[in-house]
Chain A
Amino acid sequence: VKRPKLNSLMLLGCGVFAGVATATLGGCQSGNTGSPGNTSNIAPQSSYRIVGSVGTPFRALVSDSRSSWQVFGTIPTIIVIVNDSPPDRILATKLTNDNRLLSLQVIQGLSIGTLDSTISHFGTAVGSIGGTLPAFALPATPDVRFFVNTPLAGVFTALIEGESQSSAVESAVPTVILFDSPNGGQGGRVDGIFNQVAFTGVLEVDLVIDGHLAESASDGNTVSVHGTVNGG
């Protein structure tokens, strides 16, 4: 039995689809690590690690073939796309007028795809993976994001779910998880269940849908956030 697992860095992702999900994912939604069924792992997917001089603010424009997102953050940050639709492309821009380092790793599965970095004023780093994406896609609709804010440098696992799909994620804090086209881009429920691998501080997670905070939760080891996407 294979457990669907979507690591932010390795991203051995798994999509579990309607019908199958109904029968098999009840346990997962309650945090049970039991069998989700016999769904095979999907192909290794992509994620982005933006590191360098700690605290440097940046803006990243991330796109797959279906959606794009603007992500504001500070170094270090990991960006994960759940339900990714490659090819992917990223443009990360440093937001400081100094020589701080911004280093970008584009990762597919356990492999590093492209590497780029900048020390220039408002310098950019670019990357792509999974083929050629000639232009950035239109902004994501709906725009569903999970922000895992603390504990800094802690490690967590998570289950990101729509009504017809579930993906397991493992990553380090801070991470921004972008949920591309949940429920087929239509309205419906989304949720996330987060667990710390080892307790290192308060686990704090925000779920933001279309720019509005749907739910914020914090706890010691396990956090759940839920929200509803309006019909498309």
Chain B
Amino acid sequence: MNVKYLGGRWLGPTLFGVLVFLLGSLLLDGRSRVESQTGTGIVEVAFTGTLTSSDGLPIADHYQRVSLNVVSVRLNPSRDTTISDSDPSWVDIPAPAAVGSTFPSEFITTSLNFGSTGPLLTAAGSVLQLDLLPLQNLPFFFNAASIPAQPYGQMEVVLNDFNPGNAVPLCHQHSFGEGCITYTTLLSQASGLRVLFGFPFYGVAADVVQPLIVNINVNVGPPPTGDPNSQTVALSPIITPQGAPLPGTITPYNPTIGLVTGKVTNFDVNTTSVSAEFSGTDQIVATTKLQGDGSYALSLPAVATGTLYDFYVSGKSGGYVVKSGVLVKPGDAVTFNPTVPFSTFGQLSGTIADSCNGAPIEAATLKLLVADTSNGGATSCDLTSEPAVPSPVPASLGQQTTAPPHPPSNCVVVATAASNDQGIYPFLYTPFTNVAVDPPPGVVHYDLEISAPGYNTTVVPIAPGSVFCPASRFANSCSFSLEHGYLTGATDLSVPNLTGNRLNALVMAEDSGTNNIENLTLSTIQGGTSSGPFTMPVPIAEPSADAIPVNSLDVFASMQDSFQGLPQKTTGHLIGTAANVGAPSANCSTLPIPALSPLNCAGLGSVTGTVANADPGTTSVRLSKNGVQIMQTDPNEIGAAPDNVYNFCAPTDLYTVTHYEGPTPQLSVPVPSSSGSASVALMAPVSIGEPCSSICQNASNVCLVCQPTTGPNLQ
């Protein structure tokens, strides 16, 4: 062995190196040993939100919506927060473009992406608009990415340079700025979008899936006092990654989310995956492949009182395994250890067409349903008339007294497909191309649910051990024609349209007494006229036995208005309504309905109030006019007190607000209390002289500035 002589000039650097090694060892002590390995780890980025207003009141008292336009999240091993944006050590987790983006990991996918095959050669960057109000109550999974396994010292949330966010303020008294329309935002100097992780590092381990939960604390400035062309809304977002101290405190941010773990028996490590979706829907929240030993872990967002999920296992190792209605709570660990049964595989295919004219139906949705026999008596997902709602609905609200047929509540959607422009499904390389044909033990057969706006939803059985439907209109496939009728009517103004432009109204038809929208169409009122006709396909009342009937419809129309040339979601024209107009009885028949109530220009207004005992997971408020439900608060938007505030932006008119509760929007019912529903008249806008801008043009040809209304406090 040769020993190299170290001269005195090497002594200092050598000692320094030893010291660094020892310090590093101490710092890294206690962290996973895999962090020092090479390779990559999977990081799932999730956001939570905390919103504060300039005057300390709940944000929903001032704003209907606040959003950030997020380009990416990036991490850097350095703890020097002054390093350059172009530092090569930054690791990007981009916004999920869902198409053509670089999604480096297919190990785990969220609802927003399905992997990709490479970047566009030239393209605008992807930006995800992050709605901050529901973020206060339910974490939002931004994206997942495979990144180098190493310790990271800092992170940054990158927002769109030119438009970092948007805000929709409610109407503001004594203000000349219009409310209920979209404003751009400006980041204040107090913003902190590049921050250190908690001491010393955020470690990413190789071959492990781990969450990175980031809280976005946003102080939102006062509502603007001028219009969007002259004013912006000030935002001061400060991010706090898990483990780092919350702003102004030494308390580390320790978020809790739901966790589901387990081990799959009889799996194919390359293809078997476990998926979690919101219960009763095909809305996949996350899907993960398995580790080499069949184990898996899924981090899932959940509200404080818990969120219901369905799980299923799929892949080429065998048949489906389903588990329905599992309550996942933050901080709880749920275990699901499925054993995959034997099955062969096939492709479920066919065409979907209009039964009246034979035309292909584009973008029809097809869901493969499997019953969870461990959670309920149903052994198939054939339509049933068993009650789906937990309590009867007051007839005074116009709701259908008997629930229409529906798939049993223990059914899980294990695969979804959509038809193409020729009505053909499935697309290549999608789940329907690889269906396990043998139903799980105890399940009689699969069912296929076929739906498209304007058509009766149809649920048909699939022959066991095959991928064919006995009722298919073509042999050896699952091809169906969907039934429908037509609704024809008109949108009206009290006086002719003298704006010099056509007016476009979006007309929607929904199941009577509910917010379950069946279809929509556009009605155009030409210049100089006061009426615009419309015709739209709608489901019928007497379809064939395997289709869901619709007995009666409510119809409403909303004008598509602009403010200072920019289209707005809210309208200053009255909402046109027609309640309980019936439904076409037979296939291809047409039902004329009376003209909707006039859509005159009235100007905007807003209303705020509170809801007693609000739970963000179950509470919603609906706004009705003339018995027609026209708006609903967004899911997870109403928090617990003192953030139990609801708000609406709507044209000035007389409405009813109603408190609803239910585990899902479809199962929500009005709260059975006399003070759970109340009338409210929105305050009329004030008129101002020129120069000015207005959401719409009334007969007096003046500008209208909206005013706030204090609404009822609902029990």
Contacts and interface: CB of A to CB of B under 8 A. Distances in A.
Interface in A27-84: 49, 51-55, 57-59, 61, 72-78
Nearest to B428: A150
B502 interface: yes
A114 B163 CA distance: 8
B539 to A, nearest CB: 14
A98 B418 contact: no
A166 interface: no
Nearest to A131: B565
B166 interface: yes
B114 A153 contact: yes
Contacts of A89: 567
A201 B429 contact: yes
Is chain B's interface secondary structure helix, strand, loop, or mixed overall? loop
Nearest to A199: B117
Contact of A54 (B98, B123, B134, B422): B98
A122 B568 CA distance: 16
Contacts of A145: 421
B99 interface: yes
Contacts of B112: 51-54, 101
Contacts of B282: 55
Nearest to B100: A172
A135 B502 contact: yes
Contacts of B666: 97
Interface of A: 7, 9-10, 12, 49, 51-55, 57-59, 61, 72-78, 89, 91, 93, 95, 97-101, 103, 105, 107, 109-112, 114-122, 124-128, 131-132, 134-136, 145, 147, 149-155, 170-174, 197-198, 200-202, 204, 206, 208, 211, 213, 216
The 9 closest A-B pairs by CB, nearest first: A172-B100, A132-B565, A76-B98, A99-B635, A135-B502, A126-B567, A117-B129, A9-B123, A134-B501
B100 A155 contact: yes
B522 A155 contact: no
B121 A155 contact: yes
Contacts of B421: 145, 147, 149, 206, 208, 213
B73 to A, nearest CB: 16
A145 B427 CA distance: 19
Contacts of B635: 99, 119
B569 interface: yes
B429 A150 contact: yes
A57 B363 contact: yes
Nearest to B71: A112
B116 interface: yes
Interface residues of B, number: 79
A98 B119 CA distance: 31
B430 interface: yes
Given A7-B123, A100-B111, A149-B427, A51 B98 contact: yes
B124 A107 contact: yes
B634 interface: yes
Interface stretch (B324-332, B333-341, B377-385, B512-520): B512-520
Contacts of B569: 116, 118, 124-126
Contacts of A54: 98, 111-114, 284
B530 to A, nearest CB: 16
Contact of B515 (A121, A155, A204): A121
Contact of A128 (B114, B131, B452, B567): B567
Contact of B429 (A107, A126, A127, A151): A151
Contacts of A77: 99
B428 A201 contact: yes
B43 to A, nearest CB: 20
Given A52-B112, A153-B117, A154-B117, A206 B134 contact: no
26 contacts: A7-B123, A10-B124, A55-B418, A57-B365, A72-B363, A74-B365, A93-B506, A95-B363, A97-B516, A98-B281, A98-B665, A101-B111, A103-B128, A105-B126, A111-B162, A119-B131, A119-B634, A122-B520, A126-B560, A136-B560, A151-B429, A152-B428, A170-B121, A171-B100, A173-B100, A201-B428
Interface in B133-160: 134, 160
A198 B111 contact: no
Interface of B: 67, 69, 96-100, 111-129, 131, 134, 160, 162-163, 166, 182, 278, 281-284, 359, 362-363, 365, 416, 418, 420-422, 427-430, 452-453, 499, 501-504, 506, 508, 515-517, 520, 522, 524, 560, 562, 565-569, 632, 634-636, 665-666
A115 B522 contact: no
A99 B634 contact: yes
Interface centre among A61, A103, A150, by most B CB within 10 Å? A103
B632 A55 contact: no
A147 B420 contact: yes
A72 B452 CA distance: 11
Interface centre among A51, A72, A206, by most B CB within 10 Å? A51
A61 B418 CA distance: 20
A51 B101 CA distance: 12
A9 B365 CA distance: 27
Contacts of A99: 134, 283, 634-636, 665
Contacts of A197: 118, 121
A175 B577 CA distance: 36
A11 to B, nearest CB: 9
Nearest to B430: A152
B113 A112 contact: no
A121 B98 contact: no
A172 B102 CA distance: 12
A204 to B, nearest CB: 7
B118 A155 contact: yes
